[in-house]
Amino acid sequence: MKTTNKGTGIKVRSNHRHYYRWKAMKRRCYNANHPDYHRYGGRGIRVCKEWLDFQAFAAWADSTYKEGMALDRTNNHKKYRGYSPENCRWVTHTENIRNSEMTQSRRDARRNNMETAKASPNYMARMLEANSKPVICATNGVTYPSASEAARSLGIDRRNISNVIKGRRNHIGGYKFTLAKPKPSKIK
């Protein structure tokens, strides 16, 4: 599938493995309606001119990417805030989460919500079970440990992956997902 890059007018392949990462990066920085805009574009984080062209971003990403990694900005100081080849790297999802400015706020919110969790029997057990089922991306054949990991890796919203799995949507951005079948337990 091809779409037109608005910056250059060149047709790009939307099924390229880094296309949706590139689109998500640009949306966070330039779309004021994006839920995370206040953490990116709203703070002055931009994409370098070179990377506004998908082909340039894809060339960099293809030469540096390792499977299962997430895009990370190395320096958040004002001068180096943006997405550029000099300021980006690939990291594990765990490392990316640790680097997040929101991590501490989320931890605090979770602590405050524990009272709510305690009031609802099996709340935490249900949450852990729902978020820990392996997910297969039928489009690229990769099995992810959870919908959350698939979402982080592909740069799409976890809720959309869940909607595809539940049959509410056929696909999200060309990706189709199913739950991985559990391995049969061995009987002693």
If one compares 55 and 1, the residue with the highest pLDDT of the two is: 55
> Domain 132-188 adopts which CATH fold?
Arc Repressor Mutant, subunit A (1.10.10)
Q: Is 68 left (phi over 0), alpha (psi -120 to 50) or beta?
A: left
- Span 134-170, pLDDT tens digits: 888 988 888 888 888 888 888 888 888 888 888 888 8
What's the pLDDT at 58?
A: 94
> Residues 115-142: what's their mean pLDDT?
65
Q: Which of 144, 177, 183, 143 is nearest to 160 (CA)?
A: 177
* pLDDT at residue 33, as a whole number: 93
User: What's the pLDDT tens digit per position in 32-75?
Assistant: 999 889 888 988 899 999 999 999 999 999 999 988 888 988 88
Decide if 50 contacts 85 (C-beta within 8 A): yes
Query: Taken in order 112, 117, 118, 119, is the CA torsion positive or negative?
Result: positive
Residue 125 CB-density burial (10 A; 0-12 exposed, 13-18 middle, 19+ buried): exposed
Nearest to 132 by CA among 68, 180, 97: 180
Q: Helix, strand, or coil here: 66?
A: coil
Q: Tokens 């047709």 identify what position? A: 11
Whether the model clears a pTM of 0.85, i.e. scores above it, the answer is no
Q: What is the pLDDT of residue 114?
A: 55
Q: Hey, where are the domains in the chain?
A: 2-99, 132-188
Residue 1: is its pLDDT beyond 50? no
Ranges 16-20, 40-44, 72-76, 114-118: which has the least confidence: 114-118
